Structure 1
Amino acid sequence: MKFASPYLPEPSDPHAFSADPPPRPPGPVGVLLVNLGTPDTPTPRDIRRYLAEFLSDPRVIEIPAWIWQVILRLFILPRRPRALAPRYRDIWLQDGSPLLVWSQAQASAVQRELAGQGLDTRVKLGMRYGNPSIARALDELRAEGCERILTVPMYPQYAASTTATAVDHVARHAARLRDQPELRFVKRYHDDAGYIAALARQIQEHWSREGRPERLLLSFHGLPRFSIEQGDPYYRDCMETVSLLKRRLGADGELVHAAFQSRFGAAKWLEPYTEPTLREWARQGVKRVDVMCPGFLADCLETLEEISVECRDAFLEEGGEQLRYLPCLNDDAAWSQAFARLIRRHLGGW
C-alpha cells in the first residue's frame, strides 16, 4: 500500500524547500487488538491452512524446523484437520468462529468506550494466524492516518508462544515499511483490577442465579514445562491471577483451584492437568464443579469443546453429577469498560 506525501514539492518550484512545512496534525491513535486466530470455515481445507501457519511458528513449536516440518507435513496435517472439522462445526456460530465473533465484539465495544470518552482512536482486530491478519489491520490503521499504534495482545497472562509472537509479527511488518508508525506494546494485564473484577462479577452473578458448586476450577491453557524452566513467566502470571481472584471472592475463594489444559505431544507440561484433575475429583466424591478459563478473553474450541464437552463427559463418566462451564468474558459490558480503561492508561502521552 502506497501513501502519498503532502510535503513533496513540485519539481518546478525553486523555493519549495526554503519555506517551513505546514504543521502536521497528530491524527488518530491506532489500537491493534491481537488474538490467536481461527480457520475461516469449519472445513478440513481451511483448518489445514490454519494449522500449517500456527504450528510452523517457532515460538509455538520449539523443535528444530527440519525435524518438525517432516512430522507436521507427513503425520499431522494429513489427519488432524479431518478430525477437528466436526468439533469446529459443533461450536460454529451463525456469524462465524466464536473466537472471531467475540474478539470483534470486544474490539467494537472498546472503540465505542474510547470514543465516548472523547478520544480520537481507531480500534482494529488482527489475528496472529489467519484472518483478519495483523498486516491487514496495521495497513488499515495507517490508511486512516494512525502514526501511533498501541498493540494489545488479547492474552492477560504473558507467554512467549502467544504475546511474544504477536509482538514479533507486528515488528516484522513494520520492518518492511519506509514510513513506520510509532509503536507501543502491552505486555500483560493478568493482575489488572478491572480484569479481576470482571471475572469475579461473572462468577458471583452465575452463583447467585444457579447456586454454588463444591469447587471452581480455573483452567488455563497449558505450556511445556521446559518453557518455564527457560524463563517464561507464564506460570507465575497464571498463579497471580488465581491468587487475586481468590482474594476478590472473599470466603468463596476457598472453592477455587487451578489446572492446565490442551496438552500436545509427549513432553511434560504444566500441572495439574485439567481433565485428570476433574476425573480424580469425581472419584473422590465431588459431585458439582464449575469450570472457568480466565486466560481466554473469547470463547473458542479449547473452551466450548474441550472443557464444556470433553471435560464434562470425563467428569460424569467418573461419577460426577454436574459440570457447568462459565463462558469467557466475550461481550461482557463490565469487561469492555475495564478493557478500555486499561488501554487508555497505556495511551498516556499520546
Structure 2
Amino acid sequence: MSELKTVGVLLVNTGTPDAPKPRAVRKYLARFLSDPRICPMPKVPWWFILHLCILPKRGRVSAKKYAKIWTRDGSPFTIVHEKLMRGLQAQYDAEKAPVIVRVAMDYSKPFVADKLAELQSLGCDRVVVLPLYPQSALSTTGSVKDHVRHALEKLNWNVDTCIIDNYHDNPTYIRAIAASIKHAGFDVDSNDKLLFSYHSIPLNDVEQGDTYELQTGASSLLIASELGLDRVRWTIGYQCRFDKSRKWVSPYTKDVLKRLAEHSDARLFMVCPNFAVDCLETLYDIDYEFKPMYFDDMIEAGRTVDEDCFHYVPCLDKSKAHVQVLYSVLEPYVMEK
C-alpha cells in the first residue's frame, strides 16, 4: 500500500475589514469591488467611480455598521473561521489523517496566496480548496478559483489541486440547516412560516450560465422536505443587491417580508443558507434593517407586534454540526483514491 500523501485543506471565504474604521473598511471594499467578477463596468471608469464616489461614502457608512457587530476580540467573522478551522483540524488529528487545515480570505488577511504558500512550505502533496459558499456563483466561487490559480502560478507550485465547486445538496449540510431551524424554535406542526434569504446576484450572470439561482431553489426544497413542510409554509427571497443600475435575481427579501407582514399571521423564521458564517449581511442587516422593517410593516397592516413574531436562524458558524458538514463535503477529496 502506498504511503498517504499530506493533504492541505484550504477553507476560503470573502473576508472582513481589519477594524470597524472608515479607512480599514475602504481598504477592504476597494479590494472587493475591484475584482473583475464584481465590478459592473469596464475597469477605468469603474476605478474613478469607486474611489471618488463610492468608497468615501460607503467607508463611513459601513464602518458604523461594522462597529455594531464588532466584538472585544475583533471581527466575529475572523474569530468564527479560526475556531471552525481548529475544529476541523481536530477531527482529522483524532483520525491521525495526514491533513493540514488552513483558512483564507479572498479580500482580507489571511490572503489565499499567503496560506497556499504556507501549505507549500509544510510539504503538502495535494491541496483541496473548499470555498465556503454552499451555492456557488461566478462572483464567489469563481473568484476563489481565480485567486487560487493566480497564487499557484506566482508560487510556481505545480501541486495536485482540487477546488470543490459547491455543496448545495450535500445531505449532511441539508440536515444541519434543517436542524438549526428546529433549534431556533420553528414548530413543524404549527403554521410557522419559513423564509430562505439568499445573497442576490446580477441577472446578467444567470444569463451567462451561472447556476446559483437553481442551486438556491434546490437547497430550499431539500431543506423544506427534510423538515416535512409543504410549499405554502416556505418562500425564498434575495438580499444584498449592490446597485440599482443592473437587474438582480429576485424577489427581494424586503418585498417578501412586506408581503408576509401584510398577509400572514404566522410566526416568521428567516434563515440564510448560503452564508456559512454570520457576517455583516446577517448580523447587522437582519437585526438593524430587516427585523425593524418587518415590524413596521406589521404595524402598518394593523397587526400586533411582539418579539416572537420574527426569528432569525443563525448560520452554522463554529458549531460541531458545521464541522461535520465540512468534513462530509471534503471526505471524497481529502484521501487519495
TM-score by length of 1: 0.89
Q: Which shows bigger deviation, 34-43 or 267-276?
A: 267-276
**3-state SS in 2 of match to 1:259:** strand
Q: What is aligned with 1:346? A: 333
Q: What is aligned with 2:269? A: 290
Q: Which shows bigger deviation, 282-291 or 220-229?
A: 282-291
Q: What is aligned with 1:122? A: 100
Deviation per residue, 1:21-42 (Å, 9 max, x gap): xxx9765210000000000111
Is 1:314 aligned to residue 301 of structure 2?
no
The answer to whether the 8 Å contact 2:198/2:274 transfers is: yes
**3-state SS in 2 of match to 1:191:** coil
The answer to whether the 8 Å contact 1:191/1:241 transfers is: yes
Q: Which shows bigger deviation, 72-81 or 337-346?
A: 337-346
Is 1:94 aligned to residue 72 of structure 2?
yes
Q: What is aligned with 2:113? A: 135
Is 1:336 aligned to residue 335 of structure 2?
no
For 1:28 and 1:231, the matched residues in 2 are separated by 35
Is 1:300 aligned to residue 279 of structure 2?
yes
Identity over aligned residues, as a percent?
A: 35
For 1:34 and 1:305, the matched residues in 2 are separated by 22
Query: Where do residues 62-211 of structure 1 align in structure 2 (5 Å cutoff)?
Result: 62-207=40-185
Q: Which shows bigger deviation, 44-53 or 306-315?
A: 306-315
The answer to whether the 8 Å contact 1:199/1:329 transfers is: yes
Q: CA deviation at 1:333?
A: 1.1
Deviation per residue, 1:111-139 (Å, 9 max, x gap): 11122222111100000001111111111
Q: Which shows bigger deviation, 260-269 or 283-292?
A: 283-292
**3-state SS in 2 of match to 1:135:** helix
Q: What is aligned with 1:11? A: none
For 2:137 and 2:163, the matched residues in 1 are separated by 14
For 1:229 and 1:94, the matched residues in 2 are separated by 44
Which residue identity is paired with 1:336? V
Q: CA deviation at 1:283?
A: 2.0
For 2:157 and 2:200, the matched residues in 1 are separated by 39
TM-score by length of 2: 0.92
Which residue identity is paired with 1:282? A
Q: CA deviation at 1:176?
A: 1.5
For 1:55 and 1:33, the matched residues in 2 are separated by 21
For 2:55 and 2:83, the matched residues in 1 are separated by 31
Q: What is aligned with 1:15? A: none
For 2:55 and 2:325, the matched residues in 1 are separated by 39
Q: CA deviation at 1:158?
A: 0.8
Q: What is aligned with 1:19? A: none
For 1:126 and 1:227, the matched residues in 2 are separated by 25
User: Aligned pair in 2 of structure 1 residues 173, 251: CA closer, same or farther (>3 Å)?
Assistant: closer
Q: CA deviation at 1:185?
A: 0.8
**3-state SS in 1 of match to 2:282:** helix
The answer to whether the 8 Å contact 1:128/1:169 transfers is: yes
For 1:244 and 1:179, the matched residues in 2 are separated by 39
For 1:207 and 1:167, the matched residues in 2 are separated by 38
For 1:208 and 1:68, the matched residues in 2 are separated by 44
Q: Which shows bigger deviation, 315-324 or 180-189?
A: 315-324
User: Aligned pair in 2 of structure 1 residues 235, 227: CA closer, same or farther (>3 Å)?
Assistant: same
**3-state SS in 2 of match to 1:31:** strand
Structure 2's unaligned 5+ residue stretches are 300-304
Q: Which shows bigger deviation, 319-328 or 145-154?
A: 319-328
Q: CA deviation at 1:181?
A: 2.1
Structure whose CA Rg is larger: 1
How many residues end up aligned between the 2 structures?
327
For 2:29 and 2:323, the matched residues in 1 are separated by 30
Q: CA deviation at 1:318?
A: 1.0
For 1:107 and 1:213, the matched residues in 2 are separated by 38
Q: Which shows bigger deviation, 93-102 or 115-124?
A: 93-102
Structure 1's unaligned 5+ residue stretches are 1-23
